[in-house]
Amino acid sequence: MRAGRRRKAAPRDKSLARYRAKRDFEATPEPRGAQGRSGGRRYLIQKHAARRLHYDFRLEMDGVLKSWAVTRGPSLDPADKRLAVHVEDHPLAYGDFEGTIPKPQYGGGTVMLWDEGSWEPLGDPDAMMRAGRLKFRLEGERLKGEWNLVRMRRRSPRDKHDNWLLIKGRDGEAKPGDGGALLEEADRSVRSGRSMEEIARGSSVWHSNRGDAGADGRDAAKAARPKPSPAKTVKAAGKRGRLPDFVEPQLATRVGAPPAGEGWVHEIKLDGYRIQARLDGGKVSLLTRRGLDWCKRFPAIAKAVGALPAKTALLDGEIVAFEADGLSNFGQLQAILSGDEQGELAFVLFDLLYLDGQDLRALPLLERKARLLGLLGATERGVLRFSQHFDRDGGEIYRHACELALEGVVSKRAQDPYRSGRGTGWLKSKCRERQEFVIGGFTRPAKGRPGVGALLLGYGDGGRLRYAGRVGTGFGRAQSLALRRRLEPIRQDEPPFAAIPAAARRGVTYVEPSLVCETEFATWTRDGLVRQASFLGLREDKPASEITREKVMRRASRSPGPAEPEKPTVAASRKRKATAAGKAESGAKGEQDFHGVRLTHPGRLLYEEPAISKLDLAQYYVDVADRIMPHVKHRPLAIVRCPDGASGTCFFQKHLSAGMPDAIKPFSVKSKEGARESYVSIEDERGLIALVQFGVLEIHPWGASADDVDKADRIIFDLDPDPKVEWPDVIAAAKEVRDRLQELKLESFVKTTGGKGLHVVAPLRPAVAWEPVKRLTQAIAFSMAADKPALYLAKSSKAARGGKIFIDYLRNDRGSTAVAPYSTRARAGAPISAPLDWRELNARLRSDRYRLGNIRDRLAALPRDPWEGFFDIRQSLGAKTLSALKTSR
């Protein structure tokens, strides 16, 4: 068996035989390495001052780094073809090597990591290599866009060299006439920030702080023990220099999950406008990524920047609008800027590039952030806010962010300098699919309404605009009209897309592809179209020419150090653990397959007093499923999510979001403006458990079935008492509502809310539209308030609420919700919204009397269901009542 394994392993390492034969690993710090797994797409360039200076261009293929020595380095000019000599394959670990190879060893000299990122073959890479024409796209920190490697014919059979040409593709990243300008400007390492001279003076090798075990088991750290990151040696002071007019921002590369290991810090990904604030002697500029000054759009923020205790400064951050639940919301930001909504904006700052004569970009990130926090001082909780970071496990931060419905996490190398452009020093892990698209056309709404029905989306691909589908939800009536006004002046006859399906052309008005919008969507289809897209807003800070399909880099390595096998996403990791374990733990950690739904961390406490775990809550819903399901099944739902339990942050959610378990179903509802929106819904007991898994502590259904959301199938009065109101008065109010409904020949039921008051609910045959139902409930509420103004209130006025009961009739409208019977509430003690028999109302009862700890005992002791017959009653508003409501309009 051993011999068999050796014979099988030999071919995998065969491609590295030439590499190893040329090196003495007792004398050189280069990694011996082993052939890795296939499937990676890493790209890098190492600047190498050997016998003559050259640039080693490397692409990860088949578990090794395919390598070319580019004698004059790459050029951004497509007409400038650079000779690239094909050399021996290198191990993957070589991609993190930076240091000095001792002479007279092979390749003796200084090596700098000049560029790194990912690459994407534009075709079958193996077939292109055999044909001698490799076409690919780079996403590096310095090189981007399309490139070509073309093999040259050998002049004679005696020619030993396998010569290729490295040629820049003709796209938006090309710079005709650039020559070697890029090589002159970019003269420092993308990893350590050091020059060739500084690397030569430093330790013999600069890669990771941990050993790199080679195929023979030896530790490369024995050859050259690494010193602390050179960035730390310059943390005391920045470089003297002039305040830049503008610095190209550093951008993050998308990955499937945050990087593991030490050396990273993680920040919450924000949802706003990226802004660079420039302060020069009291004059403030708020610069977008395109260099536009938006001071007039954000005067309060400009004033706050101007008040900072500095003469000159350059700050990097994002302007956002925070909702009441603390989440940033790009749609709300746009609504505030357009004047449609009122609200405060905040400038969340995460980097400091320049301060009072010192250019800080070469300093480590943590040093720059420390100086930023010192500059903000006591103001860092006002309009200007400091972006907090976490140095804990990135996967844990990412999981919490997704459970809170945040956009995601940005991971940054803690000791890296600031590097303009997109690279691997900053990595972003998104919880949901979202990106910018170019608008290439629109359709008109149905029934001749004004505005737009849907927008046609596209993105740049090799100099062409590729069609990516439509988005027809997410904008209200006002926004729809505003979009139409922006699109009409840029109409054109021809489609801007390279190709568009015939079915997508009907009823389309094409426009000049100059406007950019941001969307959120479920996933990409196999045909390259977005699925279940929702419009978030226009992106006036990003030019259409820069919009491409966002790629997810396959690997996020530790820093600083060699690349590692790709870390699985959170969901994939948990799935493998569950499969391997077979049987889950029931403690705070682990997983459990509970009635067909995967519960993660089933022992995690959702309520502290009494201690109620996720598993306890799931078991409760299984026990009462036959009672609660008729009230929540096949209905649009609003949910209250509390990822950290009832004592943590909780927030309402109506729409389906990425990451929800499969048992939570999307339900498409047409909005009042005609756009379709995807709501949360469930169909069975598994759906209830899935809601628990997703941190849901309250379930609020619509008062209509999914079969016809425009017809009410119940009337709900929410009696909300002021704390000064005595409980018997609340009971009296419920009975008065019941009596007034009886006068209309409507039978009603009562339940506790689990909070302070009572709900009176009358089932209806779904035959009446919402408008008359709302007018009826409004008439009853106003009549009660007129009869007893000292006790009842029909208008939601906090100032007038003292000592009164607010009779909330507003639950009776399309899209309005109320907590479901038998749903828990996100309050201490886990109270339940419990159905009652009218005869149970008494002075000893309170709205939060029934809780998860005693509700099952109550149900077991009841001789019958308090709401027995609720779904059998086929009552509706009489013709006389409907006529009277119509007359009263």
Express each pLDDT in 167-176 by its tens digit.
Answer: 999 888 888 8
Q: Are 411 and 258 contacting, i.e. CB atoms less than 8 angstroms apart?
A: yes
**Over residues 638-667, mean pLDDT:** 84
Provide the CATH number for the domain around residue 284.
Answer: 3.30.470.30
Q: What is the pLDDT of residue 237?
A: 56
The confidence score (pLDDT) of residue 504 equals: 82
| Cα–Cα distance for residue pair 677/240, rounded to 1 Å | 54
Q: Return the beta strands (E) in 722-791 as ranges.
A: 749-752, 758-769
Residue 222 confidence (pLDDT): 29
Confidence of residue 234 (pLDDT cuts 50, 70, 90): very low
Q: Among 53-67, 644-658, 767-781, whose mean pLDDT is lowest?
A: 644-658
Most confident of 187-201, 216-230, 613-627: 613-627
Between residues 725 and 157, which one has the greater pLDDT?
A: 725
Alpha carbon distance 254, 546 (integer Å): 16
What whole-number percentage of the chain has pLDDT above 70? 82
Residue 760 lies in a domain: yes
Binned at pLDDT 50, 70 and 90, residue 211 comes out as very low
Residues 250-264, buried b or exposed e (16+ Cβ, 10 A)?
A: bbbbbbbbbbebebb
Same domain, 872 and 805: yes
Structure tokens at 730: 């609340």
Whether the CB-CB separation of 135 and 124 falls below 8 Å is answered with no
Q: What is the pTM of this model?
A: 0.41
Tell whether the model's pLDDT for residue 613 goes beyond 70: yes
Residue 721 within a domain: yes
Q: What is the CA radius of gyration of the chain?
A: 32
The pLDDT tens digits for 694-728 are: 999 999 999 999 889 999 999 999 999 998 999 99
Read off the tokens for 483.
Answer: 């979009």
- Cα 714-815-655 angle, rounded to 5 deg: 130
Instruction: Find how far residue 354's CA is from the centre of its chain.
Output: 30
- Distance separating alpha carbons of residues 524 and 433, to the nearest angstrom: 9
Q: Residue 221: inside a domain, yes or no? A: no
Domain interval for residue 321 = 239-430
Does residue 515 lie within any of the structural domains?
Answer: yes
314 and 381 part of one domain = yes
Asked if 101 and 200 sit in the same domain, the reply is yes
Segment (H or E) for 631: helix 625-632
Q: What is the mean pLDDT of the chain?
A: 81
List Cα–Cα distances, 29 to 66, 97, 211, 734, in angstroms: 20, 9, 12, 82
3-class DSSP assignment, residue 689: helix
Specify the pLDDT at position 807: 94
Please report which confidence band the pLDDT of residue 577 belongs to, taking 50, 70 and 90 as the band edges: very low
Is position 358 within any domain? yes
- Domain end residue (candidates: 701, 726, 750): 701
Q: Give the three-class secondary structure for 845.
A: coil
- How far apart, in whole angstroms, are the C-alpha atoms of residue 397 and residue 570? 11
Among 8-12, 419-423, 523-527, 653-657, which stretch is predicted with the lowest mean pLDDT?
8-12
114 membership: H or E segment, kind and range: strand 109-121
Active site residue 269: yes
Helix (H, G, I), strand (E, B) or coil at 401: helix
Pairing of strands 345-355, 312-321: antiparallel
pLDDT (0 to 100) of residue 452: 92
DSSP conformation class of 803: T
Q: What is the pLDDT of residue 564?
A: 33
Residue 521 lies in a domain: yes
Higher per-residue confidence, 659 vs 276: 276
pLDDT for residue 26: 53
Q: Same domain for 465 and 426?
A: no
Q: Do 753 and 636 share a domain, yes or no?
A: no
Segment 647-659 mean pLDDT = 79
- Which of 90-99, 555-564, 597-606 has the lowest average pLDDT? 555-564
| Structure-model confidence comparison of residues 708 and 657, the more confident one | 708
Domain count, the chain: 5
pLDDT attached to residue 16: 61
Task: Please tell me which residue in 269, 430, 614, 711 is annotated as part of the active site.
Answer: 269
Q: List phi, psi (to 5°) of 338.
A: -85, -10
The predicted pLDDT at position 31 comes to 57
Which residue from 167, 194, 33, 36 is spatially nearest to 111, judged by alpha carbons? 194
Residues 175 and 269 in one domain: no
pLDDT at 559 over 50: no
Give the pLDDT of residue 216: 31
Amino acid identity at 547: I
Statement to judge: residues 425 and 469 lie in one domain: no
Q: What integer pLDDT is reported at residue 686 of this predicted model?
A: 92
**pLDDT exceeds cutoff 60 at 206:** no
Confidence of residue 576 (pLDDT cuts 50, 70, 90): very low
Query: Cis ω on the peptide bond leading into residue 636 (within 30° of 0)?
Result: no
Give the model's confidence band at 70: pLDDT under 50 very low, under 70 low, under 90 confident, else very high.
Answer: very high
Overall average pLDDT of the 590-602 stretch:
85
Residue 369 pLDDT greater than 70, yes or no: yes
Domain limit, last residue, from 390, 413, 430 = 430
Nearest to 111 by CA among 218, 29, 166: 29
Higher pLDDT, 542 or 632: 632
DSSP secondary-structure letter at 150? E
Clarify whether residues 457 and 493 are in a common domain.
Answer: yes
Residue 277: strand, helix, or coil: strand
Q: Poorest-confidence range of 314-328, 478-492, 563-577?
A: 563-577
Residues 184 and 282 in one domain: no
What is the 3 state secondary structure string of 402-434?
HHCCCCEEEEEECCCCCCCEEEEEEEEEECCEE
Is residue 265 located within the same domain as residue 323? yes
Q: What is the CATH number of the domain that holds 603?
A: 3.90.920.10
Q: Is the residue at 457 inside a domain?
A: yes
- 260: Cβ contacts below 8 Å, ≥ 6 apart: 393, 394, 395, 556, 558, 564, 567
The answer to whether residue 161 sits within a structural domain is yes
The CA distance from 301 to 322, in Å, is 15
CA 807 to the chain's CA centroid: 40
What DSSP designation does 608 have?
Answer: T
Q: Give the CATH number of the domain where residue 517 resides.
A: 2.40.50.140
> What DSSP string describes 127-139?
HHHHHTEEEEEEE
Of the residues 403, 430, 457, which one is the last residue of a structural domain? 430
- As separate numbers, helices (DSSP H) first and strands (DSSP E) second, the chain gives 18, 43
- Do 374 and 449 sit in the same domain of this protein? no
Is the same domain home to 866 and 735? Answer: yes
Handedness of CA 588, 590, 594, 599 (dihedral sign): positive
Task: Select from 464, 454, 474, 422 the least CA-distant residue to 548.
Answer: 464
Question: What integer pLDDT is reported at residue 583 of this predicted model?
Answer: 31
